[in-house]
């Protein structure tokens, strides 16, 4: 039988704070998409969390923060998809950022996380809204993940330079 490691209180606190930040930045709606959804800044917070604190924290805060925002904003049918898709986004982005150092790794992590979001929401959108609306939303999803990456990569680079101990927070 495998022994579980106890949850580190610092990791728990960072995860809770970052999930709240993802929730708050997801609530900032920039524009409405063809499927009645919205473009938001939560992508930047998910990517920053994944870069700074690793794939596990990135997965939890990405999924939890966006799903709670969907529930709060009146999109409960999207919440399970957001939980899964943005969770996988945070996991993938954090995993890549931990394995490929520097800006190239951060950019690749942002792109890979973005691909997860765009391809993840497409079948869900087809199921919930129909094929035409789902495909019409793809450019908006691409724009959303692009904006998130454009914000997260320089933000994380700046924070890491200004506060090198942030590297100790990740797993």
pLDDT tens per residue across all 171 residues of the chain:
556 666 788 889 999 999 999 999 999 888 777 777 788 999 999 999 999 999 999 999 999 999 999 999 999 999 999 999 999 999 999 999 999 989 999 999 999 999 999 999 999 999 999 999 999 999 999 999 999 999 999 999 999 999 988 877 754
CB 137 within 8 A of CB 35: yes
Residue 3 counted as domain residue: no
- Number of structural domains (the chain) is 1
Measuring CA to CA, which residue among 100, 116, 8, 98 is closest to residue 52? 98
In this structure, what CATH number is given to the domain that contains residue 118? 1.10.1760.20
CA distance 60 to 6: 17
Residue 15, token pair as written in the block: 């995860």
Element (H, E) at 123: helix 102-129
Q: Domain range for residue 76?
A: 11-162
Residue-level pLDDT at 100: 94
Residue 94 counted as domain residue: yes
């Amino acid at each position: 039988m495998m022994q579980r490691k106890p949850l580190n209180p610092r990791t728990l606190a960072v995860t809770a704070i970052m999930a709240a930040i993802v929730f708050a930045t997801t609530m900032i709606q920039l524009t409405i998409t063809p499927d009645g959804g919205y473009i938001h800044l939560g992508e930047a917070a998910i990517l920053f969390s994944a870069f700074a604190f690793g794939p596990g924290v990135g997965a939890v805060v990405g999924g939890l923060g966006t799903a709670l925002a969907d529930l709060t904003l009146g999109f409960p049918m999207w919440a399970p998809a957001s939980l899964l898709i943005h969770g996988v986004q945070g996991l993938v982005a954090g995993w890549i950022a931990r394995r490929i150092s520097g800006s190239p790794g951060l950019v690749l992590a942002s792109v890979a996380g973005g691909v997860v979001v765009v391809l993840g929401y497409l079948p869900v959108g087809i199921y919930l809204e129909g094929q035409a609306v789902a495909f019409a939303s793809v450019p908006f999803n691409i724009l959303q993940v692009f904006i998130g990456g454009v914000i997260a990569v320089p933000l994380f680079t700046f924070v890491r330079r200004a506060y090198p101990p942030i590297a100790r927070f990740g797993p």
